[in-house]
Amino acid sequence: MVEKKTRGSIVCTTSVASVIAGTVVPHGYTASKHALVGLIRSAAGDLGKHGIRVNGGYKIKMEASELEEIFSEAANLKGIVLKARHVAEAALFLASDDSAYVSGHNLLVDGGFSVIKN
């Protein structure tokens, strides 16, 4: 994008482990996700002068039933259960011109899960 002088948006996928620590996943996994947020912020600072925005948000790689169980506590907070489309819509927002002034951000689409667990 820099070589071609193309403005745009890079959306990285992270995990809830990028903002909270826990004992459910290995420490190296949590550390790598925290590091990814640092990389997103550094890249945003470096690439911003080229008109390139860099943001993050997290991906879903679980079955719907697993998600429902994991996010049930958050669902009680917000009254909804996380669906893949919620994450997809957030990623589309970050990639679109609607977020033209957003860069270096890790968008949490978790219904408050990271707040409850933190």
Q: What is the pTM of this model?
A: 0.77
Question: Which residue in the list 29, 31, 45, 66 is annotated as catalytic?
Answer: 29
Per-residue model confidence as pLDDT tens digits over 21-75 = 766 678 888 899 899 999 999 999 999 999 999 999 875 555 555 555 555 655 5
- Sketch out the chain's domains with CATH numbers: 8-110 (3.40.50.720)
Name the one residue in this structure whose structure tokens are 């690439």: 47
Per-residue model confidence as pLDDT tens digits over 87-98 = 889 999 999 999
For the question of residue 29 being annotated catalytic, the response is yes
**40/11 Cα distance (integer angstroms):** 9
**6/41 Cα distance (integer angstroms):** 20
